[in-house]
Structure 1
Amino acid sequence: MKSFSRHLLQLLLGAIILHALWLAGYLLIRSEVLPAPWAVYAHMAHLNGSDLLAHTLTSLQRIGWGILIATVLSAILSLSMILYPRVGRTLSTFIYFTYPIPKLALLPVVMLLGGLGEATKVVMIVLIILFQLAVSMRDALLAIPEEHFAVTRSLGASTWGLLRHLLLPAALPAALSALRIAIGTAISVLFVTETYGTTEGLGYYISDAWMRIDYLDMYAGIALLSLMGVGLFILIDLLEAILCPWQSIGKDKAYRA
């Protein structure tokens, strides 16, 4: 948990640096296009709280479902590639071919096939996160020494025991690390998808304020979307501290070194 506390301190320091840069930009530009930080936060205090909360919860629900579905699918894919080598070779070839494809370019196709509803937005988030998670988890599983498999099997472990005591502990840290990397991209995709065919979500709120040339509203939405990303990042760190305590021990040693 010490490393988690350090993460929080690092995030606080990052927030201070970001606001310092924001303030410097405001003082340098002196334009309504870039309002002062305190002006944005003061404006947020006077906004309709229930309206902002509704937009935030809608966005959070969309990205939450996307992360959950992508995590489950990537776990199934990566474990299948390890437990069933023939399946693994086929899936590895497919992932190798499709991973470099820019998923955001598929947005028009997904919208044409799935319409402008909630499913389209969740599907795009899944497409963005799925391959990163699957590749990271697969590589982590492939890095397990063969001796570990032999020892686990010699102790009479069943397939479930192998999953519980060897495969999942090896894949989980890699999955959480991949999620950290993917969160920023996923939120960017969420913003893009929420600018089409919806009147709910922070992406819609920001783009609507932009079109109305209401910069304080726009920056309020950006601030909330950013806070949502930071909150998800902290949640992943907390999950790692709880589910992968050996990772925290390693990080504590690295910090002391």
Structure 2
Amino acid sequence: MNLLKKITKFPTLYGILSVIFMWQLLSLALQSNVLPTPFKAITSFITLFPTILYKHILVSIYRIALALSISLLLGISLGMACGLYPTLDKLLSPITYILYPLPKVAFLPLFMIFMGIGDASKVTLMVSIIIFQVLIAVRDGIKEIPLELFQSMKTLGLTPIQLYKHLVVPAMLPKLFSAIRISLGICISALFFAENFATSYGIGYLIMNAWSMVEYPKMFAGIIGLSLLGLILFKLVDLLETKCCPWLKK
């Protein structure tokens, strides 16, 4: 019971140490250069980070941040419009349900033809993934608001801005943060794939380039960087949710 309390007190540290422990066991069992020990990979990460690794990570962060900003701006706007206006929802929902399940990665060649091989096509790929998650989450969060609450707010004489601030936004925020978490995982995977084409910067490029050059410690240094990037982004989302949704605290 005491051990369980300590684990729950430092869950991130527990998760990291558990992964390193399993990684070490697997590396000892396989005895292959393809899977270096955690010590070699972490040493490689520490050595490469100040020289080249940080540049690749910063480029990937830039692409993710830009895609997320565009997706939130468009997705929240469309989601709120669909949630508040049923007629608009009837027009957009059929299109959303057709486009949302499609594997967006398949459209990367098309994006590259029309938008070039630079950041635009990679960012567009991520936007095409995130925007539908955000739109549906925001729309569903607003639709779950009982009609009686809208009527009560109007009876109290609240202005449209106050209605959004005290009812609409708090109702859709928890679902929005859940959508962002799910989207980030898929988004990072899509970015890894996109950064293997016509680019010389990005964490995906570094990993696959190291693999092709048979530099496995460098490859795992990139994987560690990608993992830390995902962990930091998830923790930031958790922190924002705690600040924006204090009523969710247990």
TM-score (norm 1): 0.91
Q: Provide the aligned length of Structure 1 versus Structure 2.
A: 244
Matches within 5 A, 1:42-61: 42-47=43-48, 49-61=50-62
Matches within 5 A, 1:1-257: 9-47=10-48, 49-248=50-249, 252=250
Distance in 2, matches of 1:234 and 1:197, equals 31
Q: Identify the residue that residue 255 of structure 1 maps to in structure 2.
A: none
231-240 or 152-161, larger mean C-alpha shift: 152-161
**Equivalent position SS for 1:46:** helix
Contact 2:83 2:138 (8 Å CA) reproduced: no
CA positional deviation for 1:184: 1.1
38-47 or 8-17, larger mean C-alpha shift: 8-17
CA positional deviation for 1:83: 2.6
In structure 2, give the amino acid aligned to 1:179.
I
Aligned in 2, Cα 1:136/1:114: closer, same or farther, shift over 3 Å? same
Distance in 1, matches of 2:234 and 2:110, equals 30
In structure 1, give the amino acid aligned to 2:238.
D
In structure 1, give the amino acid aligned to 2:105.
L
In structure 1, give the amino acid aligned to 2:58.
L
Distance in 1, matches of 2:93 and 2:101, equals 13
1:36-69 residue CA offsets vs partner (Å, 9 max, x unmatched): 0011111222226142111111100100111111
CA positional deviation for 1:17: 1.7
CA positional deviation for 1:8: 7.7
Contact 2:84 2:143 (8 Å CA) reproduced: no
Gaps of 5+ in 2: 1-6
CA positional deviation for 1:91: 1.1
Identical positions, percent? 39
TM-score (norm 2): 0.93
Cα RMSD after superposing both structures: 1.5
CA positional deviation for 1:7: 8.1
Gaps of 5+ in 1: 1-5, 253-257
CA positional deviation for 1:236: 0.3
11-20 or 147-156, larger mean C-alpha shift: 11-20
In structure 2, give the amino acid aligned to 1:47.
L
41-50 or 167-176, larger mean C-alpha shift: 41-50
Distance in 1, matches of 2:136 and 2:96, equals 8
CA positional deviation for 1:211: 0.8
In structure 1, give the amino acid aligned to 2:42.
Y
